[in-house]
């Protein structure tokens, strides 16, 4: 369904990325075909109790942060110190590690946007930031102290509630920048990052805000890692840099990773009038649900409907499709075939950023949105690393009598999946992300010419 409304521009971006010091370092590495996945010492420390041992993780030290642990509960990070003095102590006191990342990424994105203090603190400026997890490191230590160790409630610290509440990242960002507009969080599992950007886009498009800080976060958490490892959906058996392998015939799970991606959105005419550097224009955002009652299995029908909602009858074929591409056996096959079903098999290429840094869960959609913005800047397509061999046989679901989708095997579409970065004129990109519960999100962006 299409509604008339205002145009929306992207004017700033910032983030926290595995092994990277800043956005420029991130761009340099991913456009050099590098993997940011490595062996995680915290997973290794648990021996055979954890099946997977690789992650695109971010450590506190790498972000120039230090945890100060409680004298009552030595596993409880009572507060964090910012050794570069980027965030005031008062804001650090209410933040878990992911919220700190959100604030750091916001500061970088706002600096790039060129917004002044009056614009930032306006009623017309909103914050829409969310995560997939729930500050489990904070909660685990706090509740263990009370329920298992029999300690008094105060051992949990005075800020466990605000450091683990559902919309803690948005709240901390809002308190940091002191905006007076919307402050909220959209949670939609692994579609969270893109979903928050899409919601912020709609707020601006329909005149409810003029500007918005938006994105997703996933703070490093062994608890989240363990949860997915228990589901047996994480990659194992490969070297770290070859563990995330979307579409490869030997893929066996995703790489659980962490990070943050924040962008600044602004009504297009306002951005133009003040001479902003417009990174991209958002053409449309569309999200839906599979509607088949399955919590986990991807829906071909749901994803093809997503494309119809995003493109309508425009006939647009984007130059690049930034796929979700998790490296899971069922997910990748359904996604690639639904893309081909919707766009045909020529005139575009597919980029799979998770092949380079893994699956950042709640941050995935927003960090990958940033990779799309970088593809505009570099005029180059990011690769699908490790997609060495695609299945030459039909998938099992393609062999069923009631299958009405694409009839060719994945290997037939080899040319759509570059295995290394290559230059190309890129004027339009579509981004896709999906999440548990059958939620699907898509966004179409154009380069400002």
Q: Is residue 3 part of a domain?
A: no
Q: In the predicted model, what is the mean pLDDT of residues 366-382?
A: 98
- C-alpha 19/C-alpha 301 separation (Å) is 38
Which residues touch 363 (CB under 8 Å, ≥6 apart)? 131, 132, 192, 193, 215, 216, 217, 218, 258, 259, 260, 261
The residue with tokens 């450590």 is 59
Instruction: Report helix, strand or coil for 127.
Output: strand
pLDDT at 3 over 80: no
Domain of 163? 8-446
Which helix H or strand E contains 78, and what residues bound it? strand 77-82
Q: pLDDT tens digits, residue range 136-182? A: 888 888 888 899 989 998 888 888 898 999 999 999 999 999 999 99
**Band of the pLDDT at 133, cuts 50, 70, 90?**
confident
DSSP per residue, 318-348? -SEEE------HHHHHHHHHHHHHHH-SSS-
Annotate 386-398 with DSSP letters as a single string: T-----SS--GGG
Q: Tokens 């490969």 sit at which residue? A: 238
Q: 3-class SS at 215?
A: strand
In DSSP terms, 117 is beta-bridged to: none
- Does the pLDDT value for residue 15 go beyond 80? yes
Q: Is residue 303 part of a domain?
A: yes
For the chain, the average pLDDT equals 96
Contact by Cβ (8 Å): 420, 177: no
Spell out the alpha helix ranges (H) of 379-441: none
199: Cβ–Cβ under 8 A, 6 or more apart, which residues? 128, 184, 186, 214
Is 96 part of a structural domain of the chain? yes
Q: 344: pLDDT confidence band, cut at 50, 70 and 90?
A: very high
Query: How many degrees, rounded to 5, is the angle at CA 319 between CA 393 and CA 242?
Result: 50
Largest interatomic CA distance in the chain = 64
> Is 62 exposed, middle or buried, given 0-12, 13-18 or 19+ CB atoms closer than 10 A?
middle
CA-closest candidate to residue 16, choices 84, 74, 66, 64: 64
Whether pTM > 0.85 for this model: the answer is: yes
Inside any domain, residue 71? yes
Under 8 Å between Cβ of 80 and 60: yes
List residues bridging with 430 in a β-sheet.
321, 444
Give me the pLDDT at residue 158, please: 85
Q: Which residues are catalytic?
A: 190, 324, 359
State both tokens at 24.
Answer: 């420029």
φ and ψ at residue 78, rounded to 5 degrees:
-70, -35
pLDDT digits (tens, 9 = 90+) for 96-128: 999 999 999 999 999 999 999 999 999 999 999
Residue 419 has pLDDT above 80, yes or no: yes
Question: Which domain CATH number covers 355?
Answer: 3.40.47.10
> Cβ distance 380 to 418 under 8 Å?
no
- List b or e across 398-417, with b for residues whose CB sees 16 or more CB atoms inside 10 angstroms: beeeeeeebeebbeebeebb
Model confidence at 57: pLDDT above 50: yes
pLDDT > 70 in the chain, percent: 99
Range with lowest mean pLDDT among 86-100, 140-154, 259-273: 140-154
Q: Total structural domains in the chain?
A: 1
SS3 295: coil
User: What is the CB neighbour count within 10 angstroms for residue 75?
Assistant: 12
Q: Is residue 2, in this structure, part of any structural domain at all?
A: no
Structure tokens at 309: 């909602």
Residue 358's nearest CA partner among 56, 9, 30 is 56
- In this prediction, residue 75 carries a pLDDT of 87
Average pLDDT over residues 230-257: 98
Amino acid 1: pLDDT: 44
The pair of three-digit structure tokens given for residue 47, joined into one six-digit string? 């021996």
136, with CB counted inside 10 A (0-12, 13-18, 19+), is: middle
Strand partners, 433: 441
Q: Which of 432, 443, 368, 424 is nearest to 13 (CA)?
A: 368
Q: What are 302-322's pLDDT values in tens digits? A: 999 999 999 999 999 999 999
Q: Cβ(138)–Cβ(97) under 8 Å? A: no
pLDDT of 280 above 90: yes
CB contact at 8 A, 246 and 354: yes
Q: Which residues contact 164 (CB under 8 A, 6 or more apart)?
A: 96, 134, 135, 138, 139, 142
Nearest CA-CA partner of 196 in 171, 158, 159, 170: 170
Q: Would you call 369 helix, strand, or coil by DSSP?
A: helix
pLDDT of residue 2: 52
């Amino acid at each position: 369904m299409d509604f008339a409304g205002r145009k929306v521009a992207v004017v700033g971006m910032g983030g926290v990325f595995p092994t990277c010091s800043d956005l420029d370092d991130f761009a340099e590495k991913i456009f050099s075909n590098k993997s940011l996945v490595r062996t995680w010492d915290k997973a290794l420390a648990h021996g055979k109790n954890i099946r997977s041992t690789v992650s695109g993780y971010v450590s506190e030290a790498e972000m120039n942060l230090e945890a100060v642990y409680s004298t009552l509960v030595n596993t409880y990070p009572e507060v964090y110190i910012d050794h570069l003095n980027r965030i005031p102590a008062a804001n650090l006191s209410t933040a878990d590690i992911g919220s700190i990342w959100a604030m750091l990424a916001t500061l970088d994105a706002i600096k790039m946007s060129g917004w002044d203090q009056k614009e930032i603190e306006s009623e017309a400026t909103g914050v829409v930031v969310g995560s997939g997890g729930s500050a489990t490191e904070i909660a685990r230590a706090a509740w263990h102290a009370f329920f298992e160790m029999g300690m008094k409630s105060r051992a949990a610290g005075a800020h466990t509630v605000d450091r683990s509440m559902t919309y803690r990242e948005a709240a901390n960002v809002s308190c940091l920048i002191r905006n007076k507009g919307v402050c909220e969080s959209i949670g939609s599992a692994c579609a969270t990052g893109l979903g928050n950007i899409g919601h912020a886009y709609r707020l601006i498009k329909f005149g409810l805000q003029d500007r918005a800080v938006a994105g997703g976060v996933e703070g490093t958490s062994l608890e989240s890692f363990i949860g997915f490892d228990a589901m047996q959906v994480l990659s194992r058996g490969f070297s770290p840099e070859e563990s995330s392998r979307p579409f490869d015939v030997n893929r066996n799970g995703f790489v659980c990773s962490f990070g943050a991606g924040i962008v600044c959105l602004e009504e297009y005419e306002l951005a133009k009038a003040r001479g902003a550097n417009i990174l991209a224009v958002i053409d449309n955002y569309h999200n839906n649900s599979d509607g088949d009652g399955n919590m986990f299995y991807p829906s071909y029908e749901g994803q093809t409907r997503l494309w119809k909602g995003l493109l309508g009858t425009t006939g647009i074929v984007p130059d690049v499709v930034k796929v979700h591409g998790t490296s899971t056996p069922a997910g990748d096959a359904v996604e690639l075939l639904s893309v081909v079903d919707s766009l045909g098999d020529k005139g575009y290429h597919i980029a799979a950023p998770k092949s380079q840094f893994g699956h950042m869960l709640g941050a995935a959609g927003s960090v990958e949105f940033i990779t799309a913005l970088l593809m505009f800047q570099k005029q180059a397509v990011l690769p699908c690393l490790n997609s060495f061999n695609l299945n030459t046989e039909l998938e099992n679901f393609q062999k069923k009598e009631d299958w009405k989708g694409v009839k060719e095997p994945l290997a037939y579409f080899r040319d759509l999946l570059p295995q290394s970065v290559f230059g190309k004129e890129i004027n339009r990109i579509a981004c896709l992300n999906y999440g548990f519960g059958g939620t699907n999100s898509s966004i179409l962006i154009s380069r400002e010419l």
